[in-house]
Amino acid sequence: MSLPDATASAALGAAHVRPVWFAYLDFDTDPVRANSSGATLTPSGSGDADLDGQSFIGISHAFVNITPVRHGVGGSGSVTATLSGITGIDDDTLALIANPANWRGRVARLWRLIRNADNVAQGGYQPFHTGYMT
C-alpha cells in the first residue's frame, strides 16, 4: 500500500471524505474492473497500465466493503473485498465465480482515490493492495 500524496493527505482531515475504490480481478476468461463511485470511469495519469485507459464499471459504494491492510515483518495480511446486493448478475457470471479454477491464485489489485464532499479528486490514485485471490 502506498501512502496518500500531499493533496490527498490534506483532504483526509476534512469532514466529508469519499474514497473511491478501483478493483482489477484477473478472472481466467475475462478480467473484471470495477469502481465504487456508482459511475463507469476510465482513469488516466497514474502511469499504471492496469489502471490507465481501462474502463472500470461503476457500482454503488454502499455495496462495497474493503478491510484494512495489515503489514508485518513477513509482508501484508489478507485483504477482503466484499460486494453485496448487486443486481443484474447473470447465470454465466455466477458460474464463473462458483468455479475457483477461474480465479484462485490469480492477481487482484486495489487502488484508492480520495474525493472531497463535492466529489472532486484530491490527489492521485493510490495503489492500495496487490495480491492473489484465494
Residue 74 or 48, more confident:
48
* Interval 44-67 mean pLDDT: 89
Q: What are phi and psi of 129, to 5 degrees?
A: -165, 140
Distance (Å, whole) CA 110 – CA 129: 5
* Whole-number pLDDT of residue 78: 81
* Whole-number pLDDT of residue 119: 81
| Whole-number average pLDDT of the chain | 82
Identify the helix (H) or strand (E) that includes residue 96: helix 91-98
Residue 120 or 52, more confident:
52
* Whole-number pLDDT of residue 13: 58
pLDDT band (50, 70, 90) for residue 67: confident
Q: Is pTM, for the whole model, over 0.75?
A: yes
* Whole-number pLDDT of residue 9: 58
Residue 132 cell numbers, joined: 492473489
